[in-house]
Amino acid sequence: MTVPTQLPSAPMDPGLAGLLDQAAAQGNPPLESLPPAVGRQIYRDMAAGLGLPPPAVATEDRSIPGPGGPLKLRIYHPDVSGTLPALLYVHGGGFVIGDLETHDAVCRTLCHDVAAVVVAVEYRLAPEHPFPAAVEDVVCVLQWLATHTRELRADPSRIALAGDSAGAQLAAVACLHTAGTITPCALGLIYPPAQHPSEPSASMAENGEGKFLTRGVMQWFIDSYLGGRSELARHPDFALLSAPTLAPLPPSWVATMGHDPLRDEGHVLAQRIEQAGV
C-alpha cells in the first residue's frame, strides 16, 4: 500500500535536535548490529539520560498470570480521592526493546497530570517471543484490568488505553480483539506504526536515515517480531491499515511527528479511523 505525503514537515524542534545529537555523540553501534540484550540496555540508558523529573506518585509492582507465564505490571496511583479513570499504557520499542523502566517517567507523569490509575505492562519481547506473543500479553492485561477496577479504585466505565510506537499498535489491536466484551472510553496512539516498513511512504523516504529510528533499525525490529515470516506483513494484528474494519475502536487520538518515518502511515491511520465512524 502506497501512503502519500500528508503533511509538510516543520523545522525540527531544537530540544529534540539536541537529544539526537547527544545520542549520536555517544558513538553506539547501530542497534540492528547488536544483540537484543545490549540494545535494550542502550535504550534504558537513553531513557534515563532524558532527565525527565518524574512526579512523585505511589507505585505497586505486581505479577499476574499471562499466556506465556507471569506478566509484570506496574500500577501507578495518584494522590486523589474518589473513583478514578484507569489507563493501560503500553510502552514502545519496536516490539524488541523497552520495559517498565524506560517508560516509568512517562507513566508517572500521566498518572499525576491526568489523575488516573495507570497500569503499565512488561509484555514479552521479540526475538525471544515473536508475534503474536506481545498481542496476547496486552489483550490479557486489558482483560485483567477490566475485571479488577474495583480493587484498583477505578471506574470500569472509564478505562482507556494508550501507547507509543509499537505500544500504540498493540493498544489498538487489543481494543479490536476485545471489541464486544470490553468498551474502553478512549484510545491514545502516539506515532503508531500501521504498516510494514517495506511499504512505500514519503516520510519513510525523507526520515529513514540519520535519526534514531532508521530503516535498518525498523527492519531489525520487524524481522525480530515477525520472525522473517513475510506472510505476516499485512496481518491485521500487525498492520492496522490492513484491518478489515477499525469501527470497533473507541474514540481515538492520534499523534504524528513531522520528522518521524512513521508520520504518513499514522496520518492515514487517523483518517481511516475517522472514516470508520469512530
Tell me the pLDDT of the chain (278 aa) as tens digits. Answer: 444 444 555 676 776 656 666 666 666 788 899 999 999 999 999 888 777 788 999 999 999 999 999 999 999 999 999 999 999 999 999 999 999 999 999 999 999 999 999 999 999 999 999 999 999 999 999 999 999 999 999 999 999 999 999 999 999 999 999 999 999 999 999 999 999 988 878 887 787 676 678 889 999 999 999 999 999 999 999 999 999 999 999 999 999 988 888 999 999 999 999 999 99
Domain assignment present for residue 23? The answer is no
Which residues contact residue 223 at a Cβ distance below 8 angstroms, ignoring those fewer than 6 apart? Answer: none
Domain assignment present for residue 92? The answer is yes
Which residues contact residue 229 at a Cβ distance below 8 angstroms, ignoring those fewer than 6 apart? Answer: 131
Gyration radius (Cα) of the chain, Å? 18
Strands (DSSP E) contained in the chain are 58-66, 69-77, 84-90, 117-122, 154-164, 186-190, 252-255
- State yes or no: cis peptide before 156, omega within 30 of 0: no
Domain assignment present for residue 21? The answer is no
- State yes or no: cis peptide before 127, omega within 30 of 0: yes
Range of the domain at 262: 31-275
Domain assignment present for residue 133? The answer is yes
CATH code of 131's domain: 3.40.50.1820
Domain assignment present for residue 135? The answer is yes
What pTM was estimated for this model as a whole?
0.92
Q: How many domains does the chain have?
A: 1
